[in-house]
């Protein structure tokens, strides 16, 4: 531009000279050149401006179907409350989806019972500091789960950090209640909500109710939530003066058939790829259809119990990678029988392939499943059709009961004692419950489809520690999974684990074409639109911090029970490879517990071969809780027996310490090891805590455990 404007006087002189000495044609030609030059210089400013909405041509219309508005939302929660006229906001933090579902349910019931406008929000959607601007006339509820070593869920990270770091912000105007989800088998039971509440109080916020805490150690999360919810409603009635009314179902979604849609328009069941979300979780890969290149039974005696070793091939996707210690997320499929059972009682068997569209009726309610789709895809792949039914859901079904008998049964089962007694000998999901209450085909045809979509949880992946080393097998990953199959005492009723029974059916189909599942379960193994044909499953990789030390010469101690052996098989494979190429390998201890040496000693032959290769560098110790002879022994007992070496490596050798298995096992091991360390080092409980905290801070004490 500088050059163009600098030459303007020169052009003026030229035009002046031409006007005196040139003919009309020359002047006209130069005028055209000048006009063209000016047009070029002012392109994009005076003319041909870029359309600011041009990008709209490239937006995917299905992204707008999850919520009504596509407008940019404010990050200030106080502004959002004012914009929407809300009376209350629920900040949820959820790792597996339970806290989110409970928060959404609570928001809806507060509206139905008390006429309150409630926002149920992902805490990370708003600037944490703006909670200080919430006026005293409004209410806040904080609902968060605790996982791992007392860690907050991803969506609570910002709020959690802000509350712990801020000291100059008053929350004196904030009135709140809080509910935490945890498991007392874990050492840091409900740690997140405890810290959140302590910091809220320290900053001047006013609690209206004692903090509720759910304990899933005995599977009582739902009951603890319901008890706390009744206390919340009591506060509404007595302290706040709200009038309660009988709840009537008000849909937040619209579900309708649209036969004008073509198959190409539909989502047929392939898991939704969430990597395009605004808040991309960088620890997750995309979801892929991956070939299963081998599957075998690991239990020596598998008449009543099964354990699967499955090898999944990454070769088709060069961008898909994992590191030793990562997890594989497997997307399960609901069994055919349970999908058909629910469709039958709803009177929708003949409509299962008809296209349906799901739209949100409320600005702040998002559609959690891909749409448009079909009922078959929805109930087979996108919703957990086999999920247990809560008392709250049973109570909400009473209004749709087709007969007085069905109404009486549902009313009775919505009571706490009757519900608990029923579950002691019965497995119920939604289809089974409806069938039990009124089993004729189409008996429940008046239940709105929106109700079904709202109450069934969205399908979630199940995570398994990868039991292979990325150094040894970079283009394939192995997983190890015990098939979950709980049988009620004295009955033929069983609760089949959703993901593991699906994988068992897949394994059986690969081993022997047409071989049935041991319990008669069938699945659409070909997948949506045959995306899984030839023996595949949908899966993705999740990064983990459960890692080997950088140097193979660093000592490690591994404690495992059952399928907790999975990541340690990968660790040993990697160290064996390091040793085979001449790297120095440090002392390695594996303490492994299972039921019986001759039945479920996983990878027994492999471990024997590794022991032979490593020699004295590998200490392999087993514990059998149901031996053929002798006393039962658990891994924590072996920790005590080998405490001299374990404690020496931890304190003098800075060894990395790992536990993988059930949370209760990890707690018992940690307690026994703590006592042994205190005894040998002369430590107090506070000094032990300082040591453990330091080890964890430097990633030398890690756990990969489950409830």
Give the span between the Cα atoms of 567 and 544, in whole angstroms: 11
Mean pLDDT of 564-576: 98
> For the domain that residue 127 is a member of, what is the CATH number?
3.40.50.360
Assign residue 591 a region: left if phi > 0, alpha if psi is -120 to 50, beta otherwise?
Answer: beta
Q: Is the pLDDT of residue 24 over 70?
A: no
Residues 192 and 134 in one domain: yes
Burial zone of 458 (CB within 10 Å; 0-12 exposed, 13-18 middle, 19+ buried): middle
Q: Who wins on pLDDT, 190 or 48?
A: 190
Residues 81 and 227 in one domain: yes
Structure tokens at 368: 């959690």
Give the span between the Cα atoms of 363 and 387, in whole angstroms: 27
Measured at the alpha carbon of residue 691, what is the angle toward residues 687 and 697, in degrees to the nearest 5? 140
pLDDT band at 58 (very low <50, low <70, confident <90, very high): very low
Contact 325, 567 (CB under 8 A): yes
Contact 334, 432 (CB under 8 A): no
Contact 188, 146 (CB under 8 A): yes
Secondary structure letter of residue 187 according to DSSP: T
Predicted local confidence at residue 391, as pLDDT = 93
Contact 187, 670 (CB under 8 A): yes
Residue where a domain terminates, one of 238, 261, 282:
238
Residues 580 and 640 in one domain: yes
Residues 157 and 13 in one domain: no
Residue where a domain terminates, one of 211, 238, 265:
238
Give the span between the Cα atoms of 533 and 537, in whole angstroms: 9
Strands (E), 351-475: 355-360, 373-374, 462-465
Residues 88 and 15 in one domain: no
Give the span between the Cα atoms of 307 and 564, in whole angstroms: 12
Give the span between the Cα atoms of 655 and 648, in whole angstroms: 9
Residues 227 and 129 in one domain: yes
Q: Is 408 within a domain?
A: no
- Report the share of the chain in percent with pLDDT over 90: 76
Structure tokens at 49: 């401006």
Predicted local confidence at residue 518, as pLDDT = 87
Tokens 């699945």: give the residue.
523
Residues 121 and 234 in one domain: yes
Q: Is 500 within a domain?
A: no
Predicted local confidence at residue 32, as pLDDT = 54
Residues 9 and 96 in one domain: no
Cross-strand partners of 538: 289
Q: What are phi and psi of 597, to 5 degrees?
A: -65, -30
Predicted local confidence at residue 57, as pLDDT = 36
Residue where a domain terminates, one of 238, 271, 294:
238
Please write the tens of the pLDDT for every residue from 317-375. 999 999 999 999 999 999 999 999 999 999 999 999 999 999 999 877 889 999 999 99
Q: Is 598 within a domain?
A: yes
One-character DSSP codes across 237-284: HHTS-PPP-------SEEEEE-TT--GGGS--SPPP-GGGSSS--TTB
Mean pLDDT of 639-653: 97
Q: Is 570 within a domain?
A: yes
Q: Which domain range does residue 105 map to?
A: 69-238
| Domain count within the chain | 3
Predicted local confidence at residue 65, as pLDDT = 42
> For the domain that residue 589 is a member of, what is the CATH number?
3.40.50.80
pLDDT band at 283 (very low <50, low <70, confident <90, very high): confident
Give the span between the Cα atoms of 656 and 674, in whole angstroms: 15
Give the span between the Cα atoms of 450 and 455, in whole angstroms: 9
- For the chain, what is the mean pLDDT? 88
**95-109, 285-299, 389-403, 496-510, range with the lowest pLDDT:** 95-109
pLDDT band at 440 (very low <50, low <70, confident <90, very high): very high
From the list 125, 134, 139, the residue with the least C-alpha distance to 94 is 125
Q: Is 206 within a domain?
A: yes
Q: Is 186 within a domain?
A: yes
Q: Is 119 within a domain?
A: yes
Residues 579 and 688 in one domain: yes
Residues 37 and 81 in one domain: no
Residues 114 and 200 in one domain: yes
For the chain, how far is it from start to end, CA to CA, in angstroms?
68
Residues 77 and 15 in one domain: no
From the list 666, 596, 591, 593, the residue with the least C-alpha distance to 626 is 596
Structure tokens at 46: 């005076």
Residue by residue, what is the 3-state secondary structure of 518-584?
A: CCCCCCCCCCHHHCCCCCEEEEEEECCCCCCCCCCCCCEEEEEEHHHHHHHHHHHHHHHHHHHCCCC
Q: Is 264 within a domain?
A: no
């Amino acid at each position: 531009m500088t050059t163009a404007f600098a030459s303007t006087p020169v052009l003026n002189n030229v035009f002046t000279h031409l006007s005196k000495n040139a003919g009309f044609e020359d002047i006209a030609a130069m005028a055209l050149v000048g006009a063209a030059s000016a047009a070029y210089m002012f392109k994009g400013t005076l003319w041909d401006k870029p359309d600011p909405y041009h990008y709209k041509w490239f937006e995917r219309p299905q992204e707008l179907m999850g919520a009504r508005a596509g407008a940019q939302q404010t990050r200030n929660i106080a502004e959002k409350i004012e914009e929407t006229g809300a009376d209350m906001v629920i900040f949820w933090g959820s790792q597996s989806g339970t806290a989110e579902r409970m928060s959404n349910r609570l928001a809806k019931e507060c509206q139905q019972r008390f006429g309150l406008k409630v926002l149920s929000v992902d805490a990370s959607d708003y600037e944490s500091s703006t909670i200080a601007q919430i006026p005293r006339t409004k209410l806040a509820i904080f609902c968060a789960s605790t996982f791992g070593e007392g860690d907050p869920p991803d969506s609570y990270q910002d709020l959690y950090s802000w509350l712990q770091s801020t000291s100059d912000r008053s929350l004196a105007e904030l009135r709140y209640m809080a509910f935490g989800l945890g498991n007392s088998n874990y050492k840091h039971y409900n740690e997140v909500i405890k810290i959140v509440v302590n910091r809220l109080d320290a900053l001047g916020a006013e609690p209206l109710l004692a903090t509720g805490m759910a304990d899933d150690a005995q599977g009582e999360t739902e009951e603890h939530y319901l008890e706390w919810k009744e206390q919340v409603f009591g506060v509404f009635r007595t302290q706040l003066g709200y009038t309660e009314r009988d709840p009537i179902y008000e849909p937040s979604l619209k579900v309708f058939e649209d036969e004008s849609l073509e198959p190409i328009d539909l989502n047929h069941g392939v898991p939704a790829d969430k990597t395009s979300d605004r808040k991309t979780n960088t620890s997750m890969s995309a979801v892929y259809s991956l070939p299963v290149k081998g599957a075998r039974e690991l239990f020596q005696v598998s008449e009543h119990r099964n354990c699967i070793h499955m090898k999944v091939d990454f070769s088709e996707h060069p961008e898909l990678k994992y590191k030793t210690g990562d997890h594989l997320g497997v997307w399960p499929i609901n069994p055919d029988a349970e999908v058909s059972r629910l469709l039958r009682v709803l009177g929708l068997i003949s409509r299962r392939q008809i296209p349906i569209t799901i739209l949100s009726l409320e600005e702040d309610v998002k559609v959690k499943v891909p749409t448009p789709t079909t009922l078959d895809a929805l109930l087979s792949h996108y919703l957990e059709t086999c999920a247990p039914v809560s008392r709250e859901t049973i109570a909400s079904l009473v209004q749709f009961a087709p007969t007085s008998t069905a109404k009486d049964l549902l009313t009775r089962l919505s009571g706490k004692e009757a519900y608990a007694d029923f579950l002691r000998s019965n497995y119920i999901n939604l289809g089974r419950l409806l069938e039990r209450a009124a089993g004729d085909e189409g008996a429940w045809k008046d239940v709105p489809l929106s109700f079904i979509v709202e109450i069934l949880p969205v399908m979630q992946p199940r995570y398994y520690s990868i039991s292979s080393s990325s150094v040894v097998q970079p283009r394939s990953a192995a997983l190890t999974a015990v098939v979950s199959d709980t049988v009620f005492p004295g009955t033929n009723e069983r609760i089949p684990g959703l993901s593991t029974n699906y994988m068992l059916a897949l394994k059986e189909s690969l081993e022997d074409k047409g071989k049935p599942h041991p319990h008669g379960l069938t699945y659409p193994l070909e997948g949506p639109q045959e995306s899984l044909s030839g023996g595949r499953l949908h899966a993705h990789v999740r990064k983990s911090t459960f890692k080997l030390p950088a140097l193979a010469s660093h000592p490690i101690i591994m404690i495992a029970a059952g399928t907790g052996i999975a990541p340690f098989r990968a660790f040993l494979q990697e160290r064996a490879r390091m040793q085979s190429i001449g790297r120095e390998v440090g002392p390695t201890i594996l303490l492994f517990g299972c039921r019986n040496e001759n039945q479920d000693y996983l990878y027994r032959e492999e471990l024997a071969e590794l022991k032979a290769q490593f020699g004295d560098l590998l200490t392999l110790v087993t514990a059998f809780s149901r031996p053929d002879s002798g006393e039962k022994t658990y891994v924590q007992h072996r920790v005590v027996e080998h405490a001299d070496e374990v404690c020496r490596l931890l304190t003098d050798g800075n060894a990395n310490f790992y536990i993988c298995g059930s949370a209760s096992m990890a707690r018992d091991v940690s307690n026994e090891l703590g006592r042994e360390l205190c005894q040998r080092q002369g430590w107090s409980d506070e000094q032990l805590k300082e040591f453990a905290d330091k080890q964890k801070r430097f990633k030398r004490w890690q756990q990969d455990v489950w409830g």
